[in-house]
A and B are shown apart, each in its own frame.
Chain A
């Protein structure tokens, strides 16, 4: 994935691919940047508790999807007329969106350098779409995938994203929400204990946008995500609830940055994490309220449970508020299962392990944003 191999891979890629000059240029610019940044180290805030070196020592992929498709689309219901779908390697330069990177976001540059595939999807205004996208592992190497989704004015998208169980995916996704559009985003990152997923997501909101996101992060040797939400128009709302459950020596790092750039937007970030064995979780939830962004409403709730002495969780909620008229609430707790509750359940005849399980279930249910019945069935506890 890194320095030397990458030069080779890149030269090979650029020699073989029949693609526009501008894209080749993007690749080589990105490579320069990636080499300048290097691998993230513990000096980077968003990688402080994540050992990026683990990515160099991953076990081999055992499960490869048939065919060469990086993703499988399943459309539920009807596909709105005028829906536009393009191969990311065939879009025009204007449609390419440069993402501002830094040392923390070095893998975004690597993604551009090595880009294998992806799409740009545009959903027309006033339409509705329900879609499931499965990101597939088609080789033994890292799959570098870039996706762009544009949700038109007053359109509604219900999107479920999931990843192959044994993946090595570096995913960069951009979602652009037009005025009055709505998004329900279900992210299922239920991974094998040897899998690795690096995900950078940017969500840009115009005016009066509503987004609900429910994420399940379950295991992986290393799963690292950075989500950036930008409120560019007023009266938009973003509510995200995620569950992180790790076993063995798995590691999940989930980082979210919400930029309240304009007035009267609302964000609510809920995280419920559970670590057992020697597993670890690292969480950063940051909201920045810009100087003129009066009337912002910001909430963060991070609750964490450690089930063993060797498990570890780092959890940091952070508010940076540069104006006066703001409603803000944040909290973070790390603890064990409540002993008093456990005893109470047992005193009614419920065996200890079952009682623990009941308390864990109820803890995680806080993050069941879509109130789905099978929520817990989808998590390996």
Chain B
């Protein structure tokens, strides 16, 4: 589904990704761990199409399409979803209005029928229940005045409405207490199926107790330096990243 080949990317003159390769098949969950500043968020940004990151070399194939050739919004409509490490507050734009606009824009892009407000409301109601979201948050402007945890949950809620094919969660677990963490993990697990894949970027193997990954990768200095299964995460929790220095 996703095939990243030899990606080099930089922000300004700062070279961040230095020849990264990764292949993800439908239904797989890949965890990405690694020290601060390794380039984990940058990888997410490259996939989602953030304009401040410049890809200088390499290719990304997503479901047969050249992902790097698409605009941010086209990638979203093709099925890429990035849950931001730092979700943005947008005062004045109502959450529900925003989400419906997003869903309908994606449906339109794919040639599907747009949802009217009552259909959308029905969808939201079911998802809210599944996600244990407080519904008053949805009536507020996007992320405005939300706590850190609420913002992260809102990202997952958006994901559950938009039903992407590939979701990238960028440290969605940091700053969450155990209850919120379970809700986030639940949200992900409910969406897990044979066709949908996940990249879970995290610092802690704690999250991986709830979202059990098929693969764990260590990203350091812009490359994937080790890959393994879930036991690698447990090992990393014990050893840390000190061994990277050698």
Contact = CB atoms under 8 A, between A and B. Distances in A.
A350 B84 contact: no
B71 A345 contact: no
Contact of A341 (B48, B50, B72, B90): B90
A337 to B, nearest CB: 11
A349 B81 CA distance: 9
Given A340-B88, A354-B101, A365-B92, A347 B71 contact: no
Contacts of A340: 88
Interface in A32-63: none
B92 A346 contact: no
Contacts of B106: 348-349
A362 B73 contact: no
Interface size class of A (residues with CB under 8 A): 20 to 34
Interface in A344-361: 344-352, 354-355, 358-359, 361
| Candidate in B49, B72, B84 with the most chain A CB atoms within 10 angstroms | B72
A348 B102 CA distance: 6
B33 interface: no
Interface in B56-106: 71-73, 76-77, 81-82, 84, 87-88, 90-93, 97-99, 101-103, 105-106
Contact of B90 (A349, A351, A359): A359
B76 A346 contact: yes
Given A354-B101, A358-B101, A347 B93 contact: no
A351 B88 contact: no
Nearest to B90: A341
A50 B106 CA distance: 45
B76 A347 contact: yes
B158 A349 contact: no
Contacts of A343: 50-51, 72, 88
B76 A363 contact: no
B162 interface: yes
Contact of A344 (B81, B90, B91): B90
A228 interface: no
Contacts of A351: 73, 105
A366 interface: yes
Given A343-B50, A345-B98, A358-B93, A350 B88 contact: no
Nearest to A365: B92
Determine chain A's interface SS by DSSP, over half rule: helix
A56 to B, nearest CB: 41
Contacts of A347: 48-50, 72-73, 76, 82, 84
B241 interface: no
Given A343-B51, A345-B98, A350 B73 contact: yes
A351 B72 CA distance: 9
A340 B105 CA distance: 19
B98 A348 contact: yes
Nearest to B99: A348
Contacts of B88: 340-341, 343-344
A350 B88 CA distance: 15
Contact of B92 (A349, A350, A354, A362): A362
A358 B98 contact: yes
Nearest to A348: B102
A293 B73 CA distance: 55
A274 to B, nearest CB: 14
Contact of B109 (A345, A346, A349): A349
B29 to A, nearest CB: 21
Contacts of B72: 343, 346-347
Interface in B144-172: 158, 162
Interface string A98-120: 00000000000000000000000
Interface string B127-159: 000000000000001100000000000000010
Interface in B10-55: 48-51
Nearest to A364: B92
Contacts of A346: 71-73, 76
A177 B48 CA distance: 58
A351 B91 CA distance: 19
Interface of A: 340-341, 343-352, 354-355, 358-359, 361-363, 365-366
24 contacts: A340-B88, A341-B93, A343-B88, A344-B84, A344-B90, A346-B71, A347-B49, A347-B50, A347-B72, A347-B76, A348-B98, A348-B105, A348-B158, A349-B102, A349-B103, A349-B105, A349-B106, A349-B109, A350-B102, A351-B73, A355-B73, A358-B93, A362-B90, A362-B141
